[in-house]
Amino acid sequence: MSAPTQSSTAPLSYEAVLRDLAENDERIVVMTAENRAAIRNLPPVLGKRFIDVGICEQTMIGVAAGLSLRGRRPVCHALATFITLRAFEFSRDDLGIPNLPAVLVGGVPGFLSDANGPTHQAIDDVALMRTIPNVRVVCPADEHELADALPELITQGSPCYVRHIGLKPAFEHKKSFELGKAEVLKDGDEIGILTYGLLTREAYAAANLLEQQGHSVRLVHLSSLKPIDETAVFETLARCRTTFTVEDHLLTGGLFSIVAELCARRGKAPGRLVPFALEERWFLPTLLKGVLEHEGFSAEKLAERITRAIAS
């Protein structure tokens, strides 16, 4: 199953790709827990294969498991914090243990839940979902990459949690999505940046600013966090004087934890590894631009923080 292409240059639309896939594969069932923003045009197209369970995330996961047992391929949608936290036991027991194919799409993850308070901030979703055996964790940088990844996520045969990033591309992707493979956007050897999801765009702009200052930057976008591209991670750690992990997630359990665990498992010293994440706190509820600025994750703030860190 390959992703439909709208044109040679236009970014892919998540809803359009999901619609085309479902129209060509009757196994696909689109589900939602009253979260239709990204799929609002699909009900009249899919009919009974579009199921809205209401604000009942646990029920949605249980139904998805039953559908999977009958050969269906459910694609489930809810706010990221609720599809992970509220339905965690169901994802673990009903999908993870039997290793059933279902895609769980978390809306407004990380800083994208900008104006919401702590109850709606999915900044622990990666930590939660990667603990479940068999569950994949995917964090695209934009809607194009999300749509590009969708065919593989539906057909790969295991449960998968994916952060929904509905933003236009902020940079040109050098490769198509591959589960477990990173995308090296810049290949310098002084400053290493490992990142994923929403913050790849900010890190890309920050890398441009750092290059203008004369620095050599290696920027690696890790859209697949589980499985992760260990080769790309270790190449970055080995080549760069200082490597930064950048994420809109709690420090505990996110990318920094993943990298530290890899180094411990391999018995390799990571060199100088500096995490940029949220340490024991939720972020300030305001508009996205204000969140990035206040929390220090805008391109300008990231460049400043990295410059200070390497100077020290």
Q: What is the pLDDT of residue 8?
A: 44
Determine how many CB atoms are found less than 10 A away from the CB of residue 102: 27
Q: What is the pLDDT of residue 1?
A: 59
The percentage of residues in the chain with a pLDDT greater than 90, rounded to a whole number, is 92
Q: Picking from 162-166, 232-236, 263-267, 287-291, which range would have the lowest pLDDT averaged per residue?
A: 263-267
pTM value > 0.85: yes
Enter the tokens of residue 247. 């994420």
Q: Is the pLDDT of residue 43 over 50?
A: yes
Name which residue leads in pLDDT, 230 or 3.
Answer: 230
Enter the tokens of residue 309. 């860190």
Instruction: Convert 89-156 into a string of H (helix), E (strand) and C (coil).
Output: HHHHHHHHCCCCCCEEEEECCHHHCCCCCHHHCCCCHHHHHHCCCCCEEECCCCHHHHHHHHHHHHHC
Tokens 């206040």, located at residue? 294
In the chain, where are the structural domains located?
Answer: 14-163, 183-311
- Domains 14-163 and 183-311 in one fold: yes
Q: State whether CATH 1.10.286.10 applies to domain 14-163.
A: no
Q: Is the pLDDT of residue 6 over 50?
A: no
Q: What is the pLDDT of residue 42?
A: 96
Average confidence (pLDDT) over 108-114: 96
Q: What is the pLDDT of residue 101?
A: 96
Question: In the structure, what pLDDT confidence band is assigned to residue 7 with cuts at 50, 70 and 90?
Answer: very low
Write the pLDDT tens digit of every residue in 211-232.
Answer: 999 999 999 999 999 999 999 9
Q: Is the pLDDT of residue 143 over 50?
A: yes
Q: What is the pLDDT of residue 269?
A: 73
Q: State whether CATH 3.40.50.300 applies to domain 183-311.
A: no
Average confidence (pLDDT) over 34-57: 94
Which burial class, exposed, middle or buried, applies to 212 when counting CB atoms under 10 A from its CB (0-12, 13-18, 19+)?
exposed
